[in-house]
Amino acid sequence: MTSISRPILSIIVPCYNEEAVLSVSVHELLSQLEILIVAHKVDAESYLCLTDDGSSDTTWEIIKQLSKNNSRVKGIHLSANFGHQNALLAGLFSEKNHADCLITIDADLQDDVTVIEQMIDKFAAGNKIVYGVRSNREKDTFLKRSSAQWYYKLLIRMGIKTIYNHADFRLASRQVIQNLERFNEVNLFLRGIFPLMGFKSDIVYYSRADRKLGNTKYPFRKMMSFAWQGITSFNTSLLRLVTITGVVMFILSMLTALWVLIAYISGNAVQGWASLLLITSLFSGINMISLGLIGEYVGKIFLEVKQRPRFIIEEETERKQQG
Ligand code: UDP
Ligand code: MG
């Protein structure tokens, strides 16, 4: 059994159409891994696992080649594009029994690979989860920065525990991943699940760089859908909001009724159709919103009860045993 002070580390890298940046990133990750191995911080069996999320370019060919040439590189090929979160899950679940701790990092290396060492140190000190947190956001556009900050605050308000400015750059122990596998939900929002799981955890800070090569795989539309996913997949606080709005509207309509009654009794019943129309439209608007929100959750239940697999592994490369 490997001691906790020299764990086998598996670095999981989701890759979707990353042919432009992949070789550079892998080179950088491997040299970082080498430094850690030489310093006896991690076991010599430590390796990279590149998960190809059904890319349509030559990403999988590159991964196969890298894996052939280097015993520290393993490749997994998903049969279709299952999305970033599911690609992470595929890597984590397939590697959880081969490593003592697992780190997930994006293929574009916007996250600082040199803090991996601090993550390992914190793991050695007994932490089961170590979150990578950005200390700067200057590299993001003003819109992305302010919307992200607003969003984190909203999540906290809604009772969804997340780590401020933490994305998916994190270390987790094998035990944590084994337990993560018991969360069967299809709409998984990893950033919310990890803090919910408990376990002793810590944070390392780093500054986020620009994407080195290639384009973002998160266009605005995908980003919005991911943000919405985070809010609606987690708990039912939005539904409660609908109920509260309903109650408030009910009270207001009672007051309106009272007002109409008084006007009628006092003989001033010249209520024009305008006010009527106003109220009717207001209420039908609120009804629509409420129904829409309920539909949102019904849709989610629909997806969850089907229990479809979250990813399908089509092919894997063998990792040559060292020594
Ligand atoms: N990614 C993926 N599947 C997808 C979209 C993205 O595996 O459907 C990967 C992508 O290759 C990258 C990471 O997820 O390693 C983050 O994507 P990106 O850097 O484009 O997002 P951004 O940093 O712009 O938010
Ligand atoms: Mg990126």
CATH code for the domain in which residue 211 is found: 3.90.550.10
Confidence check: pLDDT of 132 > 90: yes
Given this model, what pLDDT does residue 1 score? 40
How many angstroms does the Cα of residue 251 sit away from the middle of ligand 2? 48
pTM of the predicted protein model: 0.80
Instruction: Please tell me if the CB atom of residue 33 comes closer than 6 angstroms to any atom of ligand 1.
Output: no
Most confident region among 77-91, 124-138, 161-175, 291-305 by mean pLDDT: 77-91
129 and 174 together in one domain:
yes
Contact between 11 and 47 under an 8 Å Cβ cutoff? The reply is yes
Q: Residue 52: nearest ligand to its CA?
A: 1
How many angstroms does the Cα of residue 82 sit away from the middle of ligand 1? 11
267 and 170 together in one domain:
no
Q: Band of the pLDDT at 154, cuts 50, 70, 90? A: confident
How many angstroms does the Cα of residue 218 sit away from the middle of ligand 2? 8
Question: Dihedral (C-alpha) 30, 31, 32, 33: value to the nearest 10 degrees?
Answer: 50
The number of beta carbons lying within 10 Å of the beta carbon of residue 80 is 11
Report yes or no on 256 lying in a domain: yes
Dist. CA 294–CA 300, nearest whole Å: 10
Average pLDDT, the chain: 86
Pick the atom of ligand 1 nearest to 106's CA. 15
Dist. CA 224–CA 151, nearest whole Å: 11
Residue ranges near ligand 2 (ion) with Cβ within 5 Å: 106, 108, 110, 211
245 and 278 together in one domain:
yes
Show the domain range for 241: 237-306
Given this model, what pLDDT does residue 274 score? 63
Contact between 212 and 22 under an 8 Å Cβ cutoff? The reply is no
Given this model, what pLDDT does residue 60 score? 96
Instruction: Please tell me if the CB atom of residue 226 comes closer than 6 angstroms to any atom of ligand 1.
Output: no
147 and 208 together in one domain:
yes
What are residue 227's phi and psi, to 5 degrees?
A: -65, -45
25 and 114 together in one domain:
yes
pLDDT tens profile 50-88: 999 999 999 999 999 999 999 999 999 999 999 999 999
Confidence check: pLDDT of 103 > 60: yes
285 and 174 together in one domain:
no
In sequence order, the 6+-apart residues with CB closer than 8 A to the CB of 25 are: 13, 18, 107, 108, 109, 212
Instruction: Please tell me if the CB atom of residue 218 comes closer than 6 angstroms to any atom of ligand 1.
Output: yes
pLDDT tens profile 264-288: 788 776 666 566 766 777 787 788 7
In this predicted model, which residue has the larger pLDDT, 318 or 204?
204
Domain count, the chain: 2
Question: Dihedral (C-alpha) 192, 194, 200, 202: value to the nearest 10 degrees?
Answer: -70
Rounded mean pLDDT, 185-196 = 85
Instruction: Please tell me if the CB atom of residue 86 comes closer than 6 angstroms to any atom of ligand 1.
Output: no
Given this model, what pLDDT does residue 2 score? 43
Confidence check: pLDDT of 322 > 60: no
Confidence check: pLDDT of 15 > 80: yes
Contact between 263 and 271 under an 8 Å Cβ cutoff? The reply is yes
